[in-house]
Structure 1
């Protein structure tokens, strides 16, 4: 797949993928054993990683994508270029519904989501493809102070 289609250089995509794959090692998943790593590339060229963190009360756990985005947001980043998500599955796992809505809050419909499998192969989809007919901050623009 041509990374330039999404305004990423080959080097940016390589770094993004390797950091997402490496981030799986930080996952805390003693219950599901389902490791997920994520890495966001900001528009300023910084990489922010995340990994899933489970809890004995399953709904309390946090997915890798949300960990990465929350870390980026509280670190002052608001403009993003792409995200990579890596799992130990084949084919690659896509972000869950909750993560899709969470990512939608901070991205555009054309934002690319690279999904890596256990062998480093990937698929890429845009947020529009992952969450069609979505709603986001723009839908509340008239209601926010």
Structure 2
């Protein structure tokens, strides 16, 4: 396993995602996820997954982090880290990739990590090529 990040900016995201994951509510899947992002002001916002007995109404960790950013007045994602202990890199689901796309550029870094460190890094364009975004609507 890779060591925790040495880059202070990435380490802050990692630490926030670890703390968020510790508060996840995942009694059904037992798959706790934490996410942390840095906004355009340099602030870190975190979220955790929140499951529900009616499965479709659960919330992903990334959605929580985006909501926290918006609540704090942020509007742009500069970097995001998703943390979960899976068999492979834990990356945002399709809905979260689109949610991230609303607030991020194609070259925004998305890091997949587990409790030991970052496993893989992507750009948003790498995870969601030829995406539909606000500029598609002329916004």
TM-score w.r.t. the length of structure 1 is: 0.87
Distance 1:79 1:132 in 2: 19
Structure with larger RCO (C-alpha < 8 A, sep 6+): 2
Moved more, 95-104 or 14-23: 14-23
In structure 2, list runs of 5 or more residues that go unmatched: 1-5
Distance 1:92 1:86 in 2: 9
2:91 is the alignment partner of 1:98: no
In structure 1, list runs of 5 or more residues that go unmatched: 1-8
TM-score w.r.t. the length of structure 2 is: 0.90
CA contact (8 A) 1:84 1:115 kept: yes
Structure 1 residue 121, shift from structure 2 partner: 3.5
2:9 is the alignment partner of 1:12: yes
CA contact (8 A) 2:77 2:100 kept: no
Structure 1 residue 18, shift from structure 2 partner: 1.6
Query: Match of 1:50?
Result: 47
Distance 2:111 2:18 in 1: 11
Query: Match of 2:3?
Result: none
Structure 1 residue 80, shift from structure 2 partner: 2.3
Residue by residue, what CA displacement relative to the aligned partner does 1:19-44 show, whole Å, maximum 9, x if unpaired?
11221101001111010000011121
CA contact (8 A) 2:111 2:118 kept: no
Report how many residues are paired: 134
Aligned CA RMSD, in angstroms, stands at 1.4
CA contact (8 A) 1:90 1:117 kept: no
> Following superposition of structure 1 onto structure 2, how do residues 63-78 of structure 1 map, counting pairs within 5 Å?
63-78=60-75
